[in-house]
């Protein structure tokens, strides 16, 4: 073990970690959007919407993320859409995450007592306000632990986008260790960086949970 190797590589690794963080962040945000839309559509959009949502969830939960990523990356150019690796990566992460998030919200919505929306109905709330003001805020609170878990899984899954050439933390580690022949030190450092980021995420989740519990 030669720790000076890590010191030399650290600026590159940290720079790549920033890419990992923001690709994951975009993926999570996209996943939240897909998740909420699919969940609400399945609950209130009739049978066709429920079935379409069901197919979406089964596909993106059932097919490995790596395969999804390669499909998006290689298939879209065939129909004339040229996707940069970064865009394909964010799209794949978002679509996959959306499938899980929609199920997380579905479970959380079932945990909101029926009387909550009934009180709003009796007051004459439009359906849209019942969703945005009563149901989703409560479902979100219930989901925070599961969402933090999903965030951590997604950040680790983002290592897969190295295969389409995005210079995130895993890809950069491969590149560096291929040139300095010190894979152990470099991968150890990369692992610790992932651990640190996820530790921070878990801490953030705990803080959010505690904040929401005060309400």
Partner 1 sequence: MTAVSQTATPPRTMVQGDAVPMVSIRGVGKSFGTNEVLRDIDLTVNKSEVVCLIGPSGSGKSTLLRCINFLEVYDRGEIRIEGTLVGYTEDTPRRRLSNRDLRSLRRNVGMVFQQFNLWPHMTALENVAEALVQVRGMDKASAASHAGRMLDRVGLAAKADAYPARLSGGQQQRVAIARVIAMEPHLMLFDEPTSALDPELVGEVLQVMRDLAADGMTMVVVTHEMGFAANVADKVAFLDRGRIAAFGTPREVFHESTEPRVQQFLQTYHERNSF
Residues that bind partner 1 (CB under 8 A): 113, 115-116, 118-127, 129, 133-134, 137-138, 141, 215
Output the smallest distance, CB 127 to partner 1, in A. Answer: 7
* Comparison of 80 and 124: residue with beta carbon closer to partner 1: 124
Q: How far apart are the first and last CA of the chain?
A: 50
* Comparison of 61 and 211: residue with beta carbon closer to partner 1: 211
Output the smallest distance, CB 204 to partner 1, in A. Answer: 20
Q: Are 209 and 33 in contact (CB under 8 A)?
A: no
Output the smallest distance, CB 50 to partner 1, in A. Answer: 19
Q: Give the CA-trace dihedral at 52, 58, 59, 62, to 10 degrees.
A: 180
Output the smallest distance, CB 170 to partner 1, in A. Answer: 39
* Comparison of 12 and 125: residue with beta carbon closer to partner 1: 125
Q: What are the residue ranges of helices labelled H in the chain?
A: 3-44, 46-62, 65-78, 85-111, 114-123, 127-129, 136-157, 169-180, 183-214
Pairwise CA distance, residues 100 & 154, whole Å: 10
* Comparison of 125 and 187: residue with beta carbon closer to partner 1: 125
């Amino acid at each position: 073990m030669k720790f000076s190797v890590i010191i030399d590589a650290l600026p590159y690794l940290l720079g790549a970690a920033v890419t990992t963080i923001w690709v994951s962040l975009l993926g999570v945000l996209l996943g939240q959007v897909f998740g909420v839309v699919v969940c609400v559509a399945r609950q209130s959009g009739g049978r066709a919407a429920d079935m379409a949502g069901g197919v979406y969830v089964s596909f993106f939960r059932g097919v490995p993320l790596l395969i999804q990523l390669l499909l998006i990356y290689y298939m879209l150019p065939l129909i004339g859409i040229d996707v940069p690796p970064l865009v394909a990566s964010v799209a794949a992460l978002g679509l996959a995450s959306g499938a899980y998030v929609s199920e997380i919200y579905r479970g959380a919505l079932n945990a909101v007592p029926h009387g909550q929306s009934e009180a709003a109905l009796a007051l004459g709330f439009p359906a849209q306000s019942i969703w945005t003001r009563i149901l989703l805020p409560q479902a979100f609170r219930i989901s925070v632990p599961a969402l933090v878990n999903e965030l951590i899984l997604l950040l680790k899954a983002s290592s897969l986008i190295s295969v389409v050439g995005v210079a995130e933390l895993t890809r950069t580690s491969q590149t560096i260790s291929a040139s300095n022949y010190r894979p152990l030190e470099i991968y150890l450092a990369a692992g610790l960086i992932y651990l640190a980021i996820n530790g921070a995420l878990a801490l953030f989740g705990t803080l959010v949970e505690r904040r929401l519990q005060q309400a």
